[in-house]
Amino acid sequence: MAISVETFFLSSDNQGTLQAQIQQMIAEGILSGRFRKGEKLPSSRRLAAHLSVSRITVTLAYTELLANDYLTSRGRSGYFVSENAPVPPNFTPPQRGEETVDWSRAIGQRFTGGKVLEKPKDWASYRYPFVYGQTDPSLFDHSNWRLCALQALGQKDFTALTADYFDQDDPRLVEFIARNTLPRRGIIARPEEILITLGAQNALWIAAQILLTQRRMAAIEDPCYYSLSDILQQSRCHVAPVSVDLDGLRPCEIPAETDVIFTTPSHQCPTTATMPMDRRKTLLQHARDIDALIVEDDYEFEMSFLDAPSPALKSLDTDGRVIYVGSFSKSLFPGLRLGYLVGSEAFIREARALRASVLRHPPGHIQRTAAYFLSLGHYDALVRRLREALKERRSVMQNAIDHHGLTVAGKGVFGGSSFWMRAPVKFNMDEVANRLRAKSVLIEPGHHFFHGSEQPNHYYRLGYSSIPVSRISDGVAKIAEALRL
């Protein structure tokens, strides 16, 4: 019995090449039991005509399935489902009864209900997406990333691809960070003082788990990165919010009983304020005076295009007090989930053990791909393109903001990829954001970034990393119109 050609169709939502989509469609049909052993598939000519693709595309998909023993070829008779194809499980799940577990009592610790700044999954379909931290496909070097990924799949890198590092990392990636990335921030570190993490957020979680207990206190910026509040809540430590001004965190307001200070001195999140050198030295001295550690989140230092970035706080540290958090998510792409921790060897030793007990290590193939992308110069070229594009977008956005009389509450001295905005107090920016969404405009309400129960509702953030420069002025005009209403 032949399989009807009408069984096959391609969806516009599918990902990957046409060849890969056809291959996946047939494999799924076999695995689900729709296509049975010995059934004849449509000829490559018929299927190509039906799907409106080239015949060679179908032939290549069939050839790959032949190699994987999903299909077999019988001379001039065509292609058939192989007798050795995977057999779908003959299993009927039991009837589900009514659950008797009282989950309100069974759950010992809750992680829901935290601060989440959700972006629509289809944000790219909006005409004016002033969202933060997303990748602009027109700027990303997809072809070279793909080549590096393929290179990392080669036989020479078989060990990096398949080995269980346990608590170790790809030595090539660690070496590049130590020799190239950190010196740009004025930091000198040995491989034993570097740990690869699943992004900056994972690095912050590891630091909090190691440094904080129920009896210790953490000082955080107010406002600050909203996920940091959730991380500290999970550690059950005491939290002391410290207000920020146009120069960032105010050291004089940090309580004397503080054990760990979390700060973003290069680009304060979310105000984008840059801490000047004098205040950085004051912060370090205050930390020494109260014997506190500092966790420096340097999440966006590569996005400095207005002026050369200031040295990292870690580079000024002479007694091992600062733990440095870096990330490639902002400069490469957020889905990469690759960051790193830099600290004293005693701290990194504990961080390495904690990471190994939870997730072993970030995938070896991802680490090796990133190592190639960095070492072959593609990363530096990408960062240069990003800086040029962001500089142009920022200039256009600043002019549009000034033209429409909107108020900037904070803007980075050295660059960045967003503006921290303030509307009149009477506005609830959640409501304004909902109205703007209907006009294909996305903005980020700012109350998530503030600590405590009485969070101001009239702040908002405008990112410009993912919106074409030609649409910025019209988008800002629509925001201004919504605020006039």
- pLDDT tens digits, one per residue of 130-178: 998 887 888 888 899 999 999 999 888 888 778 788 888 999 999 999 9
Q: Model confidence at 292, in pLDDT bands (50, 70, 90)? A: very high
For the segment 170-196, the average pLDDT, to the nearest whole number, is 93
- On the 0-12 / 13-18 / 19+ scale of CB atoms within 10 A, 151 is middle
**pTM (2 d.p.):** 0.81
The one-letter code for the residue type at 340 is Y
Amino acid 426: pLDDT: 92
d(CA 278, CA 247): 10
Residues shown for the chain: 485
Amino acid 87: pLDDT: 73
User: What is the percent of the chain where pLDDT is above 90?
Assistant: 52
Give the number of other Cβ atoms within 10 Å of residue 95's Cβ. 5
Average pLDDT of the chain is 88
Candidates 309, 313, 296; CA nearest to 200 is 296
Candidates 281, 276, 342, 283; CA nearest to 309 is 276
